[in-house]
A and B are shown apart, each in its own frame.
Chain A
């Protein structure tokens, strides 16, 4: 298997044409071989990228911008492993990684949580058997607290300051324990968390209250692989799924000013109801009252075939990758 980490340049922003199409395809700047499947990756800082591998190894790559090369900076082998009586190399896939420079937290199929510090050889802290099932994703709640989701439908908060190896709080879905695959926290309002499940359902949680989600939104027809709030415009949420669609959820209250024919996709829009002008500080995401809120949902992929595995969004740019071995860049997201 030949897996590679690649860095691409998506072209200059100044090249946008009249109708917003960008000229110039993304071109490859540099790449480097990677052992095992890339399960997750994140930028640690401007130059370094942390990559989680299916062999259980976590690697930091450094991108040298002056000569456009990549090199492996640091590696934690066997960050995740099974204790298998039969084989000696029981590597377990590392399924999620999140960074808050210089701290790196990883989770894996072995139910283990690791806390690393960039440039420190060994793990700062390891919580063995944190979970009896697979941990699918992790994200920071606060600088000392993390959120994890697992394959029995639980959302857990871990306080890293405490030494005990127990979560400080456990949330779970009502009904069937559908595995949760992704989690993201609202950029500004830290009590709002979104998770995506194996049945394609999007759940919004308020972690200040209760142990069950505030709202459950029936979204995709298959596993939801990633969910992301827009970092600077958190009224927008993006989800991608195994069914090949990528949805843009828009709860911005001035939605009524947009003309209704600005939809792009096939799955098109589902209006929940009207919006009132005096929207208070309570985020639109938490609103229990469907008559008070209006959410616009658009499918950004016109002809969907294979799964959309991953997405990321920053400013007006959206990038996503599919199982058809293609990467798409959309630089006019809010046009």
Chain B
């Protein structure tokens, strides 16, 4: 699979005028951006919007008309690959199959042999029942809608789904269950009865009529029963004919007897294949005798039935319209000529059946080729053909995963690194990610792609639009569970910035706590402090007052919390504690240097109180801080410009000196100590 076998189809982007302008494009994670450039056509080849590469499968593209009318009136188009995920009724398929997929991945591998196989067959059946349920819903939708375009779309979907179920069922019989000679035929018969040609309506019509045996479709129904090996039902109908037509009673009895005695493979091991073959040979000879004796000569219908029983190909081919498909013909042929067919022999019969049936009039359709590949046991061919024909990766991804669990696919390494199962799952999941809600399913699929799943997930998860906080929380949880720390940080930063822009400081803080982002917490605290300096009071007190241990996330945040505490203590008139706190803020270097002036100014009222609050030690500390502050600014220019600043400094010096004087006296007296 090194080169694409088919030419990638030309995709015309409606509205993009590629005849007069050159188009440029850029790949996105799930879509292609196509843009008209300013360059006219230089006579070169048209740039195609789908790129090249080994991944060129048939793409059904849909265009979301995102038009950006720039002044030069060039437009940007978003070309998306997978439009199926937007079909409402298929969502059930995606969701339910996700559940089955997860169940399969988690199922215990300890079960070996028969029980494991039974488990896998059950999984396959579950998938099929989901497809059927979806078909039902789609059918209901098609019936109930009034819009003919929608109706057409739904009907097409129904036929696609039914084809998928047909293929899956055959794969289940041949690959998952790996039916052996004997049961194989029974399974194939079930398959044909279930999927090919709708007998029930005909049967109802015939049975509900006055005299069924006179109905024009009567013999059709009998024939189809015989062709499908439904002997009991055929005999039941024939008895009606016999009772209506006593002259043929003799013929009927013989035919009935033959049909009753026909040996069929059984599911239980009551007889070996050799026994069956012997019995069958006997029975075949008996039929042959009756035919050659001319027992049925007077009734052409019964004669043809007898010929069918003998496996006469021409006789069976005469009923072509009833069987409608070559695979029905194949199974009927096998039933009446080789009931003990082995799986590996199927390919020969399949090829010849198709040739005989189609007879050169019509060529095989894609579905026929897929089924043929299945009969030939070419699993890879089946998957390849399906990938080309179907517009969505759902089918091949899940089928390949199931076959991989059956240990049937050799690790067929594709040249770009991963094996086929992983490749298909990655493609499918990537398609899911472009959907606003189904991306959650995609996460689990990526988890089960051992080689590239994580990388893909990392790339995709950052591009999910986070429209509400709840969605952001879900994405975060996914990232945290998988230790994707980069993505956690980046998402939290995005949300925190958004919150900050909307002035929701509390939200911003809670996002930075989640990411343990100290830098951002510092940013937020600076914002608070700035607000305080401008307004003179704190906003969002409920937040600052209740920071709790998260205060320790960043130094600035701690400072903010403590500073607010200082204000509170001051408000409660607990001055000594307030003073101590203030001093700690400065000496422990929690406060940023830019804020020292403010802190010292806050100390002023404490210094001016009637009672002495600061001790001598503390006053010395304060003076030292003040000197540190002013010494750091040798630029006299600054002070000359700023009268307020100089006044403040002088007032502080004065207050400190006065306080020092008072406290020395106080501490020196007998009462004060």
Do A175 and B507 have beta carbons less than 8 Å apart? no
Chain B 224-256, CB-CB to A under 8 Å as 1, else 0, gives 000000000000000000000000000000000
What is the bound-complex CA distance between A111 and B92, given in angstroms?
37
Interchain CB contact (< 8 A) of B469 among A2, A93, A222: A93
Q: How far is the CA of A123 from the CA of B305 in the complex (A)?
A: 82
Bound Cα distance A19, B436 (Å): 40
Interface residues of B in 86-111 (CB under 8 A from A): 88, 91-92, 95, 98-99, 102-103
B502's partner among A83, A154, A156 (CB-CB below 8 A) is A83
Cα separation A174 to B509 with both chains bound (whole Å): 17
CB of A90, distance to nearest CB on chain B (Å): 7
List which A92-114 residues lie within 8 A (CB) of chain B.
92-93, 95, 109-111
- Kindly state whether residue B6 has any CB partner on chain A within 8 Å: no
Interface string of A215-228 (1 = CB under 8 A from B): 00000001100000
Q: Which residue, of A39, A90, A306, has the highest number of chain B Cβ atoms within 10 A? A: A306
- B367 CB to nearest A CB, Å: 30
Q: With a CB–CB cut-off of 8 A, which chain A residues contact B91? A: 325
B513-562 with Cβ < 8 A to chain A: 513, 539-540, 542-543, 546-550
Chain B's closest residue to A151 (CB) is: B510
Q: Is A231 an interface residue (CB 8 A)?
A: no
Question: Residues of A contacting B436 with CB < 8 Å?
Answer: 1
Q: Could you tell me the distance in whole angstroms from the C-beta of B494 to the nearest C-beta in chain A?
A: 15
> A57 within 8 Å of B by Cβ?
no
A84 touching B502, Cβ below 8 Å: yes
Whether, in the assembled complex, B412 has its beta carbon less than 8 Å from a beta carbon of chain A, the answer is: no
Q: Which A residues are in CB contact (< 8 Å) with B547?
A: 177
Which residue from A54, A85, A154, A305 sits with its C-beta under 8 Å from B467?
A54
Chain A: minimal CB distance from B524 (Å): 10
With a CB–CB cut-off of 8 A, which chain A residues contact B548? 153, 172-177
Q: Does B473 contact A (CB under 8 A)?
A: yes
Q: How far is the CA of A223 from the CA of B471 in the complex (A)?
A: 12
Q: Given A172-B546, A176-B550, A305-B102, decide whether A198 and B473 contact each other with a Cβ distance below 8 A.
A: yes
Whether the pair A324, B468 counts as a contact (CB closer than 8 A) is no
Bound Cα distance A324, B481 (Å) = 19
A207-238 CB contacts (< 8 Å) to partner B: 222-223
Nearest Cβ on chain B to A283's Cβ, whole angstroms: 27
Residue of B nearest to A221 (CB): B481
- Residues of A within 8 Å of B543, CB to CB, are 132-133, 152
Identity of the chain B residue whose Cβ is nearest the Cβ of A2 in the assembled complex: B88
Q: Chain B residues near A305: list those with CB within 8 A.
A: 98-99, 102, 444
Q: Is the pair A110, B440 in contact by a Cβ cutoff of 8 Å? A: no
Given A39-B470, A54-B467, A176-B550: A134 and B477 within 8 A (CB)?
no
The listed residue with most B CB atoms (<10 A of its CB), out of A133, A153, A172, A173, is A133
Instruction: Judge whether A131 and B546 touch: CB under 8 Å.
Output: no
Contact A93 B468 (CB under 8 A): yes
Q: Does B343 contact A (CB under 8 A)?
A: no
With A170-B542, A305-B102 as contacts: A179 and B510 at CB distance below 8 Å: yes
Q: Which of B440, B441, B506, B549 contacts A131 (CB 8 A)?
A: B506
From residue 467 to 502 of chain B, which have CB atoms closer than 8 A to chain A?
467-471, 473-474, 477, 481, 501-502
On whether A133 and B506 interact (CB within 8 A), knowing A37-B468, A176-B549, A222-B477, the answer reads yes
Bound CA span A295–B569, Å = 43
* A73 to B501 CA separation, bound complex (whole angstroms): 34
Q: Does B505 contact A (CB under 8 A)?
A: yes
Whether B46 sits at the interface, judged by CB under 8 Å, is: no
Q: Which residues of B contact A179 (CB under 8 A)?
A: 510
In the complex the two chains form, is A325's CB within 8 Å of B550's CB? no
- CB-nearest residue of chain A relative to B502? A82
Q: Within 8 Å CB of A198, what residues of B?
A: 473
Asked whether, in the complex, the Cβ of B503 is within 8 Å of the Cβ of A83, the reply is yes
Contacts of A222 in B (CB 8 A): 477, 481
Closest Cβ of chain A to B132, distance in Å, is: 15
A301 to chain B, nearest CB (A): 12
- A132 adjacent to B440 (CB under 8 Å): no
Contact partner of A324 (CB less than 8 A), chosen from B95, B467, B510, B550, is B95
Check if B98 sits within 8 Å of A109, measured CB to CB.
no
Question: How many whole Å from B618's CB to the nearest CB in chain A?
Answer: 32
1/0 per residue, CB under 8 A from A, across B441-479: the answer is: 100100000000000000000000001111101100100
A1-B436, A37-B468, A109-B468 are known contacts. Are A152 and B504 too (CB-CB below 8 A)? no
User: Which of B103, B468, B477 contacts A242, CB < 8 Å?
Assistant: B477
Measured in the bound complex, the distance between the Cα atoms of B504 and A152 in whole Å is 12
Whether B477 and A151, one on each chain, are in contact in the complex, defined by CB atoms closer than 8 angstroms, is no
A223 touches B507 (CB 8 A): no
Residue from the list B88, B95, B542, B549 in contact with A167, Cβ < 8 A: B542
In Å, the complex CA distance between A84 and B507 comes to: 15
Given that A111-B504, A133-B543, A223-B477 are contacting pairs, would A152 and B102 also be in contact in the complex, using a CB cutoff of 8 Å? no
Are B440 and A323 in contact, with the CB atoms below 8 A? yes
Does A326 interact with chain B (Cβ within 8 Å)? yes
A306/B502 in contact, CB under 8 A: no
Q: A132-B542, A132-B543 are in contact. Are A324 and B98 (CB under 8 A)?
A: yes
Report if A133-B507 is in contact (Cβ < 8 Å); known contacts: A84-B502, A152-B543, A305-B99. yes
Q: Please, which residue of chain A has its CB at the minimum distance from the CB of B507?
A: A133
Min Cβ gap A244→B in Å is 11
CB distance from A198 to the nearest CB of B (A): 7
In the complex, which of the residues A85, A129, A133, A307 contacts B510, with contact meaning CB atoms closer than 8 Å? A133
Question: Which A residues, 147 to 179, have Cβ-Cβ distances below 8 Å to chain B?
Answer: 150-154, 156, 167, 170, 172-177, 179
B467 touches A37 (CB 8 A): yes
Is residue A86 contacting chain B, with contact meaning CB distance below 8 A?
A: yes
Contact partners of A307 in chain B: CB under 8 A: 474
Closest to A166 in B: B542
Q: State whether A303 touches B477 (Cβ < 8 A).
A: no
- A90 surroundings in chain B (CB, below 8 A): 502
Asked if A177 meets B513 with Cβ closer than 8 Å, knowing A111-B504, A323-B440, the reply is yes
* Residues from chain B with Cβ under 8 Å of A242 in the complex: 473-474, 477
Tell me which residues across on chain B come within 8 A of A156, comparing CB atoms: 542
Rounded to whole angstroms, the CA-CA distance of A325 and B95 in the bound complex is 7
Quote the shortest CB–CB distance from A253 to chain B (angstroms). Answer: 36
| B501 contacts A86, C-beta separation under 8 Å | yes
**Chain A residues with CB under 8 A of B92:** 325
Closest to B539 in A: A132
Give the complex CA separation of A152 and B92 in angstroms.
Answer: 38
CB <8 Å contact, A154 and B542: yes
Q: Select which of A93, A177, A323 is within 8 A of B550 by beta carbon.
A: A177
- CB distance B513 to A132 under 8 Å? no
Beta-carbon contacts under 8 Å, A285-305 to B:
303, 305
User: How many angstroms between the C-alpha atoms of A54 and B470 in the bound complex?
Assistant: 10
Give complex CA distance A90, B499 in Å.
12
In whole Å, how far is A330's beta carbon from the nearest beta carbon of chain B? 18
Q: In the assembly, what is the distance between CA of A192 and CA of B643, in Å?
A: 59
Known: A109-B468, A110-B502. A134 touches B473 (CB 8 A): no
Q: A176 to B552: give the CA distance in the assembly, Å.
A: 11
CB distance from A111 to the nearest CB of B (A): 6
Closest 7 CB pairs of A and B: A133-B506, A132-B506, A132-B540, A82-B502, A151-B510, A93-B468, A133-B507
A and B contact pairs by CB, cutoff 8 A, 15 listed: A37-B467, A39-B470, A54-B467, A83-B503, A111-B504, A131-B506, A133-B506, A133-B543, A151-B507, A156-B542, A176-B513, A176-B549, A223-B477, A305-B99, A325-B92
| 18 further contact pairs, Cβ within 8 A, besides A37-B468, A90-B502, A133-B505 | A83-B502, A83-B503, A111-B504, A129-B540, A132-B506, A133-B509, A133-B543, A151-B507, A156-B542, A167-B542, A170-B546, A173-B548, A175-B549, A177-B547, A177-B549, A177-B550, A222-B477, A323-B440
